[in-house]
Structure 1
């Protein structure tokens, strides 16, 4: 209804967000393009990160609603699609970190390195990050489902990143590799979480990361 606001928190193509905006033009309904990061834990805890694109007035009018689900709101632009572009860039980085972690975990497992030793070493270096540490924790504990990171979602997000890169003519070798590995993981473990990619690599080499 006129005076209302549509808030899109899904990760979709930037051009799809612009199509939504075109459909709302002249309706009196504001649009907030606000993909999120933080997964199920962030949603449940109200600590999601928002990459938000909207006019200032729409943001302020809906700030209370947005702050109910987010601890960090980044106002990244005003044009529909601006939020989706930032999210696509973020997901390309996250995908690369994930697959590097999974490959490294299998290499360490094959070489006989203790998983907990590996976690401690990485945590004390410049390579430390929450994605790697959380992934290693799940892999060591053999938790590949119901950890709040469905593999299909990450695969979809990487295809969004690659489509943006295709449209802009930007080569994205790491992102393309990550997408293919996630596709392999999804084919073998369609109900699994992100770290199921590590299981696929483990099965190829016949080794897994032990505590």
Structure 2
């Protein structure tokens, strides 16, 4: 399948590479020329603009950071929706309201939108093991399924209603945020009392407090104080805000998620926006006057 791909950031670069490796003919565009060159070296063709790419393919995929950028790239002047593209797959997290509005506009142009936000982080993107939540016209989904199978392991088709996949992704990421922040404060409490950081994780991960944060995020990124850049606090904040906005629109009260949003907003005011959200544990450490983990900590042997 001849595909276009716009957005070669920390997630998009890996997904586009997997499409190349799976044998798809790929045309790519990004403002980061080094990222584009990486894909060209892997066999992709370079486009010098979104408009140029849109006139070379019938199916375009995008992985972009914020709803306003998704809006511009998909339906703005010179965007994907102005070319020969007939199907667009949005791998971004832009929210259900944006998906419904963009989908309606693309539909008026005879273009099908497939919402396909992903979960699994940069490691999942590189390994091709992402979870992909999908909504949109059933025929469109089946037309792009081979491409999605090249980048994800767990595909969930949630129905034809626009925005359903986006809402599912927002719920997932908000739960991730809530569990991570609560894990940070609990683990800092244990560290302050003298509990061993790795032992705490070992206990929690075979008990009822286990979560993605305690089983994956904290063992890989926090306990050894490495804090690799995987998902910024600003992007996590964006997802939680979008989820709360949808909850308000539907009349659903989410007080615990609201508290988490307020804490993340405070973190952003303290300069954590561009840092991986694992760094937010440092706020609790500062308040408690202690530190969780050390640079010599190791992951437990599987």
Tell me which interval the TM-score lies in, with the shorter structure as reference length: over 0.9
Aligned length: 210
Question: How many Å separate the matches in 2 of 1:38 and 1:22?
Answer: 29
Does 2:210 align with 1:95? no
Partner residue of 1:66?
148
TM-score normalised by L of structure 1? 0.92
Does 2:259 align with 1:187? no
Residues 66, 111 of structure 1: alpha-carbon distance in 2 compared, 3 angstrom cutoff: same
Residues 105, 27 of structure 1: alpha-carbon distance in 2 compared, 3 angstrom cutoff: same
Cα RMSD after superposing both structures: 1.7
The answer to which structure has the higher helix fraction is 1
Question: How many Å separate the matches in 2 of 1:143 and 1:173?
Answer: 32
Shift in Å at residue 29 of structure 1?
1.5
Question: How many Å separate the matches in 2 of 1:51 and 1:40?
Answer: 17
User: Could you list the runs of 4 or more consecutive aligned residues of structure 1 that deviate by over 4 angstroms after TM superposition?
Assistant: none
Question: Which shows bigger deviation, 135-144 or 156-165?
Answer: 135-144
Matches within 5 A, 1:41-120: 41-120=123-202
Question: How many Å separate the matches in 2 of 1:30 and 1:12?
Answer: 17
Partner residue of 1:196?
279
Partner residue of 1:167?
249
Question: How many Å separate the matches in 2 of 1:159 and 1:91?
Answer: 11
- Larger RCO (CA within 8 A; separation ≥ 6): 1
Question: How many Å separate the matches in 1 of 2:139 and 2:205?
Answer: 42
Of 207, 214, 217, the match for 1:135: 217
Shift in Å at residue 95 of structure 1?
1.3
Residues 50, 197 of structure 1: alpha-carbon distance in 2 compared, 3 angstrom cutoff: same
Does 2:281 align with 1:206? no
Shift in Å at residue 118 of structure 1?
0.2
Question: How many Å separate the matches in 2 of 1:22 and 1:183?
Answer: 32
Secondary structure of 1:128's aligned partner: coil
TM-score normalised by L of structure 2? 0.66
Structure index of larger Rg: 2
Partner residue of 1:153?
235
Q: Which runs of 5+ in 1 are unaligned?
A: none
Matches within 5 A, 1:21-60: 21-60=103-142
Residues 164, 197 of structure 1: alpha-carbon distance in 2 compared, 3 angstrom cutoff: same
Residues 190, 15 of structure 1: alpha-carbon distance in 2 compared, 3 angstrom cutoff: closer
Shift in Å at residue 185 of structure 1?
2.4
Question: How many Å separate the matches in 2 of 1:16 and 1:154?
Answer: 18
Question: How many Å separate the matches in 2 of 1:50 and 1:74?
Answer: 6
Question: How many Å separate the matches in 2 of 1:160 and 1:62?
Answer: 27
Contact 2:176 2:212 survives alignment (8 Å): no
Question: How many Å separate the matches in 1 of 2:206 and 2:284?
Answer: 26
